[in-house]
Amino acid sequence: MAGGERIRLYQPGSIMGYKRGKSNQTNHTSLIKIDGVNSKPETKFYLGKRIAYIYKAKKERKGSKFRVIWGKVTRAHGNIGAIRAKFRKNLPPISLGGRVRVMLYPSAI
């Protein structure tokens, strides 16, 4: 590894929305589209991985205005490479369309 080379420990993704049916939506399960994942078999690698939704708050806590809501990939959703995730606290509606980091740990390989 050359000096100054950065190693990324996450894969970026987008929040598509909440899991829902025709008339009901379940806020405790979020749908995430991971960048570069385009099929259901490709999602298998990400099952059980941690997800971080990072946002900025007005008030500073512990020396930082950035906060995080942690979640976990639970299963695949559909055939386009989307996944379902559950977060410790339900994601707020303003997060829809926002970015998340899918961490590459815990690793099974």
**pLDDT given for residue 15 in this prediction:** 98
Does pLDDT of 103 surpass 60?
A: yes
Does pLDDT of 2 surpass 70?
A: no
pLDDT 10s digits, 47-102 = 999 999 999 999 999 999 999 999 999 999 999 999 999 999 999 999 999 999 99
Q: Which of 57, 46, 8, 107 is nearest to 32 (CA)?
A: 46
**pLDDT given for residue 44 in this prediction:** 96
Does pLDDT of 25 surpass 80?
A: yes
Residues 7, 11, 16, CA angle at the centre, nearest 5°? 160
